Amino acid sequence: MNAKFKPLGLVAAVAAATAGYNGVANAQLELAASSDLGNLALIPYYTVRDGNVTGVHLTNTSDSTQVVKVRLRRGTDSMDALDFNLILSPKDVWTGFLAAEGENVVFNTTDSSCTAPATVNGKFTMPGIYRADADEGYIEIIGMGQPLTETAPIAVSAKHGAEGVPASCTFVRDNFFANGSPGTTRGVVDGATSVQRVPVGTEGATTLALNEYEAPDNALKVSYFVRDAGSGREFGNSATHIANFLVEPSITNQQFGLFSGDLLGFDYPDLNGGTGAGIDRDRFKELRAVLGGASVINDWSANADLNVGTDWVITFPGQYTMLDLPHYFASLLTAGEADPDDRIPCNAGLPLPDGVFAGLTGACDHRDIPAVATFDVYDREEQQRSQPDGELVVSPALPGQVVQTLLPFEVNVVQWGAEPVLGSENSDIVVAVPDSPFGWAELNVTSSNSKVQAVCEASAESANFNIGEGFDAIVGAVTAYGCNSTDVNADEIPKIGFVAWERSFPANPDSNYGRIVEHSYGGVGS
């Protein structure tokens, strides 16, 4: 097989840590197609639209308790729509599924493994702050750390007993409050230590005990499925796994975040690395190199005679790391206006009005999107292209075209043929296909040329703000941001995704079926 067409596969392995993680030496990131385990997993697409549910399946394959961040990012701009911590005891499995319930997006689970916070009647309901446009998106599952030993209090409390129930999820949750202090206060002390209660005696008395953590093992196996019960169609796949993503533990609290000025809060870890305080976070630049293959390659089908259609999912994970988030958030809610026409774009270079981060100016959006996409469309024999008049051709050589368009979002769904498979509302991209029912295509993507690509980072400094009437619950301290373009290669856009393929039978929907085929990536490893 030509190395140019080497598939990204299920794993992109990080060989070692970068400089800045407590002095660990640089090492080149590598693909490791022989393994599908890691301490970071990316599910390229979830949806709750049109009766779809999305299931998630996590397995801890190790002999150590794993603390894991589960985070949903909405498809339009990858804002953190819902996140929680999951604590998996050794060899533990956790399952859940996303569904729409009225106007809510709900993560349902009947699993007994400990979560922080606790579910409410087996459900996590998506908060309203980024609920708009969050019917679709992608999922980050990041290993945060593991206790140094399985005799540590958190491991003992999370361990399932004979009846399959952890010893005490209440004590486990102690570790994820803010401002922990050894001997005095439960909660996160720093990225490597936390404090919880432990029982003493027989009368319900407790004392405080310290947990110490190390970097998580490459122990996670993650898979997902998308199911439409109405049509009877289901398909699924393994997530894209990254090995050695974190080389230091990053235990964070579930009480506060960046908009409270907390660098040990629920916003971390993210795709730029671990907790923000005291760590030179630089992981996203490495992920760009690992997941930034030159092109996306997959099959397509638009066979109307057999009711066959295909949708491509093209996800650019981590674009939020290229935003000055406080400034971007202010632009979304300029003067408290919900109407997008009344907002000031964060790259307008205009000062924002009083009450909404007053005085902020300059660019805050350094993302690759909207990315420019060029599709080279082929049938199953050869490229479809026009030939000069009077020249001999190898048949079939039907007239074709190169299709160029914009991919505007973090999660883009490209439709081939007349009928959509996924029913996405975040993209209306339809590729013109040649006079053939099926074939394959190569997609080349370049970064937006209207911006200077950069990775943005929080600092320890913070500024007070109040974003005006109607949003008085979001008042506090916002951490200052700086955006650095050094070593950020334009057009090296991280890409993951798949083709969703469906054959339908209108007279007998129960016979509908489909499959997911992961993309391959031209230029990787060549």
Instruction: List, for residues 117-156, the tens digit of each pLDDT value.
Output: 999 999 999 999 899 999 999 999 999 999 999 999 999 9
Show the DSSP H helices in 392-475 as ranges. Answer: none
Structure tokens at 279: 């760590």
Which has the closest alpha carbon to 374: 240, 500, 522, 517? 522
What percent of the chain has pLDDT above 90? Answer: 51
* Residue recorded with tokens 């699924």: 236
Structure tokens at 426: 């975040």
Mean pLDDT along residues 49-62:
96
Q: What is the pLDDT of residue 326?
A: 77
Among 317-326, 339-348, 383-392, where is mean pLDDT lowest?
A: 383-392
Residues 289 and 343: their CA atoms lie apart, in Å, by 34
Asked if the peptide bond before residue 317 counts as cis, ω within 30 degrees of 0, the response is no
Structure letter (DSSP) for residue 417: S
Question: Considering the entire predicted model, what is its pTM?
Answer: 0.87
Structure letter (DSSP) for residue 429: E
At residue 22 the predicted structure's pLDDT band, cuts being 50, 70 and 90, is very low
Side chain identity at residue 156, one-letter code: V
Q: Are strands 187-190 and 193-200 parallel, antiparallel or unpaired?
A: antiparallel
Within 13 Å of residue 45, how many CA atoms lie on the same side as its CB? Answer: 32
Phi-psi group of 106: left, alpha or beta (phi > 0 → left; psi -120 to 50 → alpha; rest → beta)? beta
Q: What is the pLDDT of residue 417?
A: 74
Which has the closest alpha carbon to 49: 7, 95, 98, 110? 98
* DSSP run (H or E) holding 224: strand 220-228
- Give the pLDDT confidence of 404-441 residue by residue, as tens digits: 688 999 999 998 877 788 989 877 777 777 677 888 88
Sign of CA dihedral 26, 32, 37, 42: positive
Structure letter (DSSP) for residue 18: P
HEC string of 289-344 equals HHHCCCEEEEEEECCHHHCEEEEEEEECCCHHHHECHHHHHHHHCHHHCCCHHHCC
Side chain identity at residue 75, one-letter code: G
Q: What is the pLDDT of residue 462?
A: 60
Phi-psi group of 125: left, alpha or beta (phi > 0 → left; psi -120 to 50 → alpha; rest → beta)? beta
Q: What is the pLDDT of residue 396?
A: 39
Q: What is the pLDDT of residue 99?
A: 97
Structure tokens at 380: 């199953």
